[in-house]
Structure 1
């Protein structure tokens, strides 16, 4: 699976710890991240990550393009809900694309923990269900 890892500045330590904790699971997948987040995760965990621009410089939009092209399967985005973000429209657009294209997205540790454990147990069947619904329409 293609998994995007994104974190606001005040959440970078959390996503690094998350990546280290779930190294074994994440290492089985293709990982993508915005600039600084990807660099810090890679340096701290040794995981191989394709990096895009930082979020404010277009990284969120680059990941959004992968979602729109149906080339992204999951997004883990540790957001900081208490700090205003100058690129909030880009963040909203990214989350909207996840909804439009039925991409699972977690915006906090609790949701990410559930998603990654389901991934480890191969409990994700949403693409099959969506395809079956399209055939019935």
Structure 2
């Protein structure tokens, strides 16, 4: 599966800890991330992470383009709900594309843990049904 990992500044440590905790699952998948988040994940885990630009510099839009081209399967986006983001329209567009193209999107640690455990258990076959 192709998994996008995104985290706002105040949530980057949570994303790094998540990636470390679930490295054994993530290593089986193609990982993509926005700039600094991807760099920090790669440094902390040794995982291969394709890095796009940072979110404010177009990284969210680059991931959105991959979604629209059917080249992304899951988005894990640790959003900071307490801080205004200068690129909020890009974030909204990314979330809208997930809805349009039926791409699962989780926006917090609890949702990410449920999704990654479902992925590990093999309960993630929705793409097989759509592609059939």
Q: Could you tell me the TM-score, scaled by structure 1's length?
A: 0.94
Q: Is 1:85 matched with 2:95? A: no
Q: Is 1:126 matched with 2:126? A: yes
Q: What does residue 20 of structure 2 align with?
A: 20
Q: CA deviation at 1:45?
A: 1.0
Per-residue CA distance 1:50-91 (angstroms, 9 max, x = gap): 000000000000000000000000000000000000000000
SS in 1 for 2:98: helix
Q: What does residue 9 of structure 2 align with?
A: 9
SS in 1 for 2:70: coil
Q: CA deviation at 1:34?
A: 0.2
Q: Matched residues in 2 for 1:125 and 1:5: separation?
A: 20
Runs (5+) with no aligned partner, structure 2? none
Alignment of 1:48-87 (within 5 A): 48-87=48-87
Structure 1 stretches (4+) deviating beyond 6 angstroms? none
Alignment of 1:27-38 (within 5 A): 27-38=27-38
Q: Matched residues in 1 for 2:22 and 2:129: separation?
A: 27
Cα RMSD (Å): 0.9
Q: CA deviation at 1:128?
A: 3.1
Q: Which of these two proteins has the greater Rg computed from alpha carbons?
A: 1
Number of residues of Structure 1 aligned to a counterpart in Structure 2 = 132
Q: Matched residues in 1 for 2:128 and 2:51: separation?
A: 29
